[in-house]
A and B are shown apart, each in its own frame.
Chain A
Amino acid sequence: MRRRWLGVYAVAYLLFLYAPILLLPLFAFNASTIIAFPLQGFTTEWFVDLTTVSALHDAVKNSLLIALVTAVLSTVLGICAARAGARYSFPAKSPIMGFIMVPLVLPEIIVGVSLLVLLIQILGVSLSSLTVILGHVLICTPFSVSILNTSFQSLDPALEEAAVDLGETPWSSFRLIVLPLVTPGLISSFLIAFTISFDEFIIAFFLSGVEPTLPVYIWGQLRFPQQLPVIMALGTILVGFSILLLTVAEIFRRRGLARAGALDQGGFL
């Protein structure tokens, strides 16, 4: 009896999590401009429409560029922090490492507002994709650090010493030994930062100015009810894309652990 209820609970739980997302493809292929049951028939018209809107294309380009730069920057910053945390001891190390992780739990709206005040009122910088990148690096770096921490901490420090002992310089042993061993972590960090930046709305909404990102563009389109099915089609593509990226990220994270012979201690997926 008890087991059966647990089964029902599990199903209800999953429905609660995924039913809203499952509606996306349903209406994306529905031949009606009104989002309502019953479904009216199958169409790919909304996907075709996507290809004709140039404002949408600009938004996608902006988002891709921002996500790419953000992913590179936060991964590089993540490498530095994770390496420092794993290999060196310095004064106030644990508070510093802790504060690096804090943006993980800061409300994005607060981050967005404070950055807006800082950039406009204090620094006098005009809003653009650059300012969005700044905000996104701020929220993505903690994710990168936490992924890369696992990679760097599972490395035996003697590996690098062994390479130096065998004649390599500190830099070449980092390149020959450390980098190959943390590469899966780097890829995983890159993909997760990319996904977060690509989907992020609040900070982009505050900081994008006249160069809207994809989520900001979608938000703008919601004012036009007849555009809703197109948004559904776009949403379907985005969900698929995000799932793909996260899956690839997780595959690389696991491969990295296996390669370093470490135990899997969780991760984001």
Chain B
Amino acid sequence: MTDRLISLRSVEKYYESYHALRGISLDIRSGEFFSLLGPSGCGKTTLLRAIAGFETLSSGELLIDGTDMVGVPANRRPTNMVFQSYAIFPHLSVAENVGFGLRRTSQTQAERMRAVCAALEMVGLEGFGGRAAHAISGGQRQRVALARALILEPKVLLLDEPLSALDKKMREQMQAELRRLQRQVGITFILVTHDQEEALIMSDRIAIMFDGEIAQVDPPATLYHRPASRRVAEFVGMMNFLPAEIKAQDDQGATVDVAGLGQVKLSDDQIIGNGPGAEIGVRPETMSLLSGEAPPDGSRVMSGKVDDRAYYGDMSFYQVAIEGTDQTLTVSMKNVMGGELLNPGAPASVAWDPRALLLFRA
């Protein structure tokens, strides 16, 4: 059963007339760090809460480790959850919070104490057990919530946007720590997030959800480089879209005419979908602004004019208006020490690689 710890089959959820989950089928493997990624309202939290047992499914099947979970209440499921608000019990101490789930186990007091200490140590809070729960910081509350959920050694740990309340620095630190913790305990983690960067950094696999449906399930690199649709490509990372006209297409590939780029030959694995429409997608980092040097091998060059520039420290994002069209492309460049930045109005030549293009047919 290792490759199917959680199985969802044709899961539907209605709230009165609102269709929150539409035919979700999904397998989550044992020991993987899995993320549910999507914009707010896409149903990712509903799906997580359904796995936890806080939402009843309108129809469909949910199996955890081969056991049917329909009708099993949340307190008897092998899952534990880290809530978005952390839900730390404010009237209990840190140790009482962490040990709360052990109340119903047959362990002795001494065993429980040891388990609490071990759990606190695991999240880097040794010595905090005696503190009052309301007297600790946001980052520490998050760790207490983690320790409290992991102490029961669940088969699945569910995390509902656990990092959204933290500031950027703390969030980056916790991302690394969650990843480390997951490898250490080997428990399956399911993370709900709307932050694509967070999902890419932490996950083994990501399911992208839109409007209650799963749009794609893949490892981060596949999701980024081979998005299943234009919508996924737009949501994960940044992508430029240009209208294209199909000149010829067979099972080897296609020849397209792209506004501003001219005629391009694309291989079959660059073509996504098989609808009548055609659009070319190109990521900002696959192009470069040339300042006099020769374009990289296999690249072609087009000319344009810098419209605008956004400076990010390590990177700059240029809006380049392509000559002879009304199209604008976003091109990102690494900033190098002593390098010159192009200013708005400056002429620019953009090198682009036909192998980095994707053709979306929808």
Interface residues of A (CB under 8 A from B): 156, 158-159, 161-169, 177, 180-181, 259-261
Contact = CB atoms under 8 A, between A and B. Distances in A.
Contact of A168 (B83, B103, B152): B103
A156 B88 CA distance: 10
Given A159-B87, A168-B104, 12 more contacts: A158-B83, A158-B87, A159-B89, A165-B53, A165-B74, A165-B79, A165-B80, A165-B81, A165-B149, A166-B75, A166-B80, A166-B149
B49 to A, nearest CB: 9
Which 10 A-B residue pairings sit nearest by Cβ, starting from the closest?
Answer: A166-B101, A162-B87, A158-B87, A158-B83, A167-B104, A165-B81, A164-B74, A164-B75, A159-B87, A167-B75
Contacts of A180: 91
Contacts of B91: 180-181, 259
B134 A261 contact: yes
Contacts of B14: none
A158 B134 contact: no
A259 B92 CA distance: 10
Contacts of A161: 54, 74, 81, 83, 87
B204 to A, nearest CB: 24
Contacts of B79: 165
Nearest to B91: A180
B84 interface: yes
B44 interface: no
What is the interface residue range for chain B against chain A?
20 to 34
Contact of B101 (A159, A167, A177, A181): A167
Interface string B122-151: 000000000000100000000000001100
Interface in B286-330: none
28 contacts: A156-B85, A158-B83, A158-B84, A158-B85, A159-B87, A161-B87, A162-B81, A162-B148, A163-B100, A164-B73, A165-B75, A165-B79, A165-B80, A165-B81, A165-B149, A166-B80, A166-B100, A167-B75, A167-B103, A168-B103, A169-B75, A177-B89, A180-B91, A181-B90, A181-B91, A259-B91, A259-B134, A261-B134
Contacts of B149: 165-166
Given A158-B85, A166-B148, A260 B74 contact: no
Given A158-B84, A162-B81, A162-B83, A168 B75 contact: yes
B280 interface: no
B52 interface: yes
Interface of B: 52-54, 73-76, 79-81, 83-85, 87, 89-91, 100-101, 103-104, 134, 148-149, 152
The SS class assigned to the A binding surface is helix
Contacts of A162: 81, 83, 87, 89, 148
A259 B90 contact: yes
Contact of A165 (B52, B89, B90, B103): B52
A79 B149 CA distance: 30
A260 B133 CA distance: 11
A163 B81 CA distance: 10
A77 to B, nearest CB: 25
A50 B56 CA distance: 65
